[in-house]
Structure 1
Amino acid sequence: MEAKALPLSLLKNITDDFSNNNEIGRGGFAVVYKGLLENGAVAVKKLSDMSVTDERRFLGEVVCLMKAKHQNIVRFLGYCSDTQGQWVDYNGKSVMGDVRQRLLCFEYLPNRSLDKYIKDASLQWRKCFQIIKGVCEGLHFLHTKNIVHSDLKPANILLDNDMVPKIADFGISRCFDGKQTHTVTANITGSMGYLAPEVFYGKISFKSDIFSLGVIIIEILTGHKDYPDVKDVRRLHGPRYRLDAHYSSFYFDHSLNLRRYISHN
């Protein structure tokens, strides 16, 4: 189903007027609430202060989400763009001002985000592989639609009941036009530890997402996002997933070489 416009009254009602008791997540630009419907739960993302920049971010996120339909991307259900006039005090005078409410509605994923499991020693290799594979497939789909996520990290990868990963939070994503492969900006945004080196110089591209993906894979396998030595990775990986030495050596020799290639390019 296509995402559709939703009335503010509905989103207020299902979140108990955005009650703190229903808050399930918070970021720099928005607060996420759990909303209860008759047939299940949804997640409602309420953007914070709505400046001109925030308005552009909201519109950009909606555009990206409309194009991002994949089993490994969080399902976008609808949006709300509400503006109402309200009397406010300004320099000692009562004036009519616009109060903007911008909200997004998504499927609710009960198993929270990947960062809650990243250091869980009970997470077996098969499940880790399925998570890595799902994130790769979701990111590949985004890139085929000319979408650069720009903030790929475990906290933005949600898990459903079967631990299927779904990429979320497109607040700073960019939709490229045609054959565009990169852009340059003075406004550097993203999460430290997952940003590609070129992003610090303002260059954003599909490769930026691949760098972030490499960090996530290393973090899933080792429990941290540092640049580990091959021997250290094998030591951490072996007891955790009970792989035989031959497979472990083959896998990590190749995956770490790929990670180093990404980091230098």
Structure 2
Amino acid sequence: MHGCLKDVGGTIMGHALCICSKGTITINNKRYLLIHRLGEGGFSYVDLVEGLHDGRFYALKRIMCHDKDDRQEAMHEIEMHQLFEHPNILPLCAHAMVEKGSKHEAWLLLPFLKRGTLWQEVEALRDKSIFMPEERILAILHGICRGLQTIHKKGYAHRDLKPTNVLLDDDDQPLLMDLGSMNQARIVVQSSREALRVQDWAAQRCTISYRAPELFTVERECVIDERTDIWSLGCVLYCMMFGEGPYDMIFQKGDSVALAVQNDLTMPENTRYSPALKRLLSSAMVVNPQERPYITDIICQVEDIQPPPSGQDTTRI
């Protein structure tokens, strides 16, 4: 990776980004050493980089933009990050839009959290036949709720909340990430055409096994609001309690998630968790969105649940 890459995004994109030599980049006059690839998706990939000015590690997310619409979507993700400064929302450290031949890449420099995602933590526990203790579940859930509350207060909804979009820091505090699917909290649908547009958008941007029921078949006259996130939050809570999302296996087997989410939630029989935690889960996963609580109600429920006595850190199957 050689040569200077011109900044093409106007004032919002900040300073030009320059590839100074193989293995190093400079953003806003600060140099970063490329370490290795952390992961990649369909249209983006993430590299681990080290700031040569501060010795800290960062995650550099690169979003490939093939056309103007792609660039606008990448800019939207950048703008969503810039809206928030909260301990439970992953901050954006720097950004740039760079030319790569006839195409562009949006570059987002983010903090690197070595512990990884909540999903990785759940998987690690499950592999050891260990369930997460209730006290820890409540602590992580409370942090996720605080992040969501901040998003909802700004008039937005996350729309793609899932365990792989929650990072854990060294203090076990969760940080919400991947804000590219965020949009306005309240969407008023007044025609079949609008309903289909919202439905198609949700199919592309909202992960199927964590998608709220009202986004599978959008009614021609309805209001979609931020309580889609409450459903997804319930799925995340279920995952922490039982080691997988409530609809993960249905999707993996090729059965219809759209049909499954129309039925009342059933949870495994166990006495591992308190009735209050199970009630909290059930309240979040109400099929009718108008009967689903808002995030403030969920936070009140979390704070009302008395944590079990500490001492035993894990519960074995």
TM-score band, normalised by the shorter chain? Answer: 0.7 to 0.9
Change (3 A) 1:136 1:31: same
Change (3 A) 1:187 1:228: same
Structure 1 residues 214-253: Cα deviation after superposition (integer angstroms, max 9, x where no partner): 1111111121222433xx3534x35xxxxxxxxx12332x
Structure 1 residues 119-139: Cα deviation after superposition (integer angstroms, max 9, x where no partner): 412643322221111000001
Alpha-carbon distance between aligned partners in 2 of 1:167 and 1:192, rounded to the nearest angstrom: 19
Alpha-carbon distance between aligned partners in 2 of 1:133 and 1:45, rounded to the nearest angstrom: 27
Out of 71, 79, 102, the residue aligned to residue 63 of structure 1 is: 79
Structure 2 spans left out of the alignment, 5+ residues: 1-12, 20-24, 189-193, 247-264, 290-317
Report the equivalent of 2:186.
181
CA shift at 1:8, angstroms? 4.0
Name the amino acid aligned to 2:283. Answer: L
Aligned residues of 1:43 and 1:106 also touching (Cα < 8 A): yes
CA shift at 1:4, angstroms? 5.3
TM-score, with normalisation over the residues of structure 2?
A: 0.66
CA shift at 1:25, angstroms? 2.2
Structure 1 residues 97-122: Cα deviation after superposition (integer angstroms, max 9, x where no partner): x3312111111111100111124126
Out of 20, 25, 28, the residue aligned to residue 42 of structure 2 is: 28
Name the amino acid aligned to 1:46. Answer: R
TM-score, with normalisation over the residues of structure 1?
A: 0.77
Report the equivalent of 1:264.
288
Change (3 A) 1:139 1:146: same
CA shift at 1:45, angstroms? 0.3
**After TM superposition, where is structure 1 displaced by more than 3 Å over at least 4 residues in a row?**
3-6, 201-204
Local SS of the residue matching 2:209: coil
The answer to which of 153-162 and 3-12 deviates more is 3-12
1:110 and 2:114 correspond: yes
> Which residues of 2 match residues 1-265 of structure 1 at below 5 A?
5=15, 7-9=17-19, 10=25, 14-16=32-34, 22-38=36-52, 39=54, 40-83=56-99, 86=101, 98-119=102-123, 120=125, 121=130, 123-174=132-183, 176=184, 181-182=186-187, 185=198, 186-188=200-202, 189-202=205-218, 204-226=224-246, 227-229=265-267, 232-235=268-271, 237-238=272-273, 248-252=274-278, 254-261=279-286, 263-265=287-289
CA shift at 1:143, angstroms? 0.6
Root mean square deviation, CA, Å: 2.5
Structure 1 spans left out of the alignment, 5+ residues: 87-97, 239-247
CA shift at 1:49, angstroms? 4.0
Aligned residues of 2:58 and 2:110 also touching (Cα < 8 A): yes
